[in-house]
Amino acid sequence: MKATKRSAARVGLGILAATAVSVSLAGCAGSGADSGDNTFTILQYENPDSAQGQGWALALELFKQKHPDVEVDYQTTSFDAARQNSKITLTGGDVPDVIEFNKGNADGGQLAAQGLLEPLTDVVAERGWDEKITGAMQAFAQYDEQGLAGSGDWYGIPNIGEYVMFYYNKDLFAQAGITEEPTDLATFEAAMDKLVAAGITPISSSAATSQGFNQMWVWYSLVSAGADRKSIDDFMFLREPVDFSAAPWIDGAKKFESWIDKGYVGTELGGLNFEQATVNFLSGEKAMLIWNQGEFARIREQAPFEWGYFTLPGANMQMGSSGHLWGVPANATNKELAYDWIDITLSEEVQNKIGQLGGLPLAGDASTIEDPLTREYTERFNELRDADTLSFYPDYPVPGFLDFIQSGMQAMSNGNTSADEWTANLQKFYDEGRETALAG
């Protein structure tokens, strides 16, 4: 992969970062034209400098041009606040008209099952959104009556895709005598051995129980490496019971444990979050960073070294999914305006803007992307999507899973839990959550 140097101007924080402006989710103004005050309220959590944030800014301009008599209240919060307060936000009559929410059974599925989101199936058909959002990208837009993803009505509309890769510092690779990108897991581990021998931490990671996502992504990437579509879908959509003591789960956990023991991910990770892991990579202290497209623009602008990226070499499946979702609260007063807003975010103009900035649009045209690195990066996502080899994210299946997994990752990183103990704990938590979810 090609790499580049840029100035230090920060462009993107990532999809999970707290945004620059924060508002209280409990008191969002939701009254609109139908109730007489002509206000349309949008609640979202993308950083304004990110590809999506800039795409939404363009969408806002286009929306105002189409509806010049409508006052728009554009509100920005953080991802964590949105997740934690979503039920409060969507309850009662004082709600936003359109809202960005997290996908998966544990989040979006719960909101759909509790009747807090408006079913969008008819609107999707009328506006042709299902022709722009296809294949596995539809999976977390649809939920059944129990709030399980993969079937049922549409409740959310994604705009972008996501996939996880290893960003790497070419200077540190060269310093350790690594001259080529690894092509399989064996050559990848051999490269990391060279980095360790040269006194360089291979992967900048984090394992804080609040936003310490990196270790979770390393672990699940190793699980995905040996997985297939059925094993992932059984786990993700609760279709068949999962045996976590069998492959690919125990194999991924043991490989992850060995990576910790060999020093591939560094030490003292329990107090680090993903932002600190990113800073450590950008500072030139660590050789690689595991993350998704959320840091692509930032690394391109800030990295003071030559860099590249690759997906986990030799893996059957790669972490990735559709992006976060636009939804319409069941109690929203301006639903038609909400549909217009979503339609504009899926327009060619907005989607190609997101694509130019490295945001992986679902309805964009990669051939229009001018920057070769960004176009190459986008085409790699399209390859994974078209091959149906994206394994989603591990915290989606059952409520409380994200907090549980992060606690487990911290315990493994600190050496307090073994791979066998982790998978046993995982089995218990998942099975209990699955039983509750299937019982409705």
pLDDT category at 14 given cuts 50, 70, 90 is very low
In this structure, is residue 239 part of a structural domain?
Answer: yes
In a shared domain, residues 267 and 362: no
pTM of this prediction? 0.82
Mean pLDDT check: name the lowest of 27-31, 231-235, 358-362: 27-31
CATH number of the domain encompassing residue 151: 3.40.190.10
pLDDT category at 73 given cuts 50, 70, 90 is very high
Q: How far apart are CA 223 and CA 394, in angstroms?
A: 10
For residue 372, say if its preceding peptide bond is cis, omega within 30 degrees of 0.
Answer: no
In a shared domain, residues 205 and 350: no
In a shared domain, residues 46 and 115: yes
In this structure, is residue 307 part of a structural domain?
Answer: no
Average confidence (pLDDT) over 238-250: 97
Question: Which two structure tokens, joined as six digits, stand for 210?
Answer: 């609040």
Cα–Cα distance list, 24 to 62, 76, 88, 357, 430 (Å): 27, 9, 11, 29, 32
Q: Which domain holds residue 78?
A: 25-161+321-383
Report phi then psi at 72, rounded to 5: -105, 125
In a shared domain, residues 209 and 140: no
- pLDDT above 60: residue 26: no
Domain end call among 383, 410, 431: 383
In this structure, is residue 172 part of a structural domain?
Answer: yes
pLDDT category at 327 given cuts 50, 70, 90 is very high
Collect all residues with Cβ–Cβ distance below 8 Å to 321 and sequence separation of at least 6.
103, 136, 140, 161, 162, 390, 392, 393
Quick one: residue 239, left, alpha or beta (phi over 0 = left, psi -120 to 50 = alpha)? alpha
Amino acid at 316: N
pLDDT digits (tens, 9 = 90+) for 156-168: 999 999 999 999 9
Domain end call among 341, 357, 383: 383
Query: Under a CB-based contact definition with an 8 Å cutoff, are residues 222 and 418 in contact?
Result: no
In a shared domain, residues 119 and 231: no
In a shared domain, residues 154 and 211: no
Q: Where are the alpha helices (DSSP H) in 204-248?
A: 213-225, 229-237
Domain count, the chain: 2
pLDDT for 1 equals 40
In this structure, is residue 1 part of a structural domain?
Answer: no
- pLDDT above 50: residue 33: no
In this structure, is residue 314 part of a structural domain?
Answer: no
pLDDT for 439 equals 87
Q: How far apart are CA 425 and CA 405, in angstroms?
A: 10
- The C-alpha R_g of the chain, in whole angstroms, comes to 21
Mean pLDDT check: name the lowest of 117-121, 303-307, 370-374: 370-374
Mean pLDDT check: name the lowest of 74-83, 208-217, 276-285, 409-418: 74-83
In a shared domain, residues 52 and 138: yes
pLDDT category at 93 given cuts 50, 70, 90 is confident
The number of angstroms, rounded, from the C-alpha of 10 to the middle of its chain's C-alpha atoms is 20
In a shared domain, residues 150 and 171: no
In a shared domain, residues 87 and 233: no
Query: Under a CB-based contact definition with an 8 Å cutoff, are residues 120 and 157 in contact?
Result: yes
- Measure the CA angle with vertex 50, ends 337 and 21; round to 5°: 70
Q: How far apart are CA 151 and CA 142, in angstroms?
A: 5
In a shared domain, residues 37 and 121: yes
In a shared domain, residues 415 and 284: yes
pLDDT for 37 equals 55
pLDDT category at 399 given cuts 50, 70, 90 is confident
In this structure, is residue 116 part of a structural domain?
Answer: yes
In this structure, is residue 10 part of a structural domain?
Answer: no
Report phi then psi at 41, rounded to 5: -105, 125
In a shared domain, residues 217 and 276: yes
Output the DSSP codes for 336-347: HHHHHHHHHHTS
Return the percentage of the chain with pLDDT > 70, whole number: 92
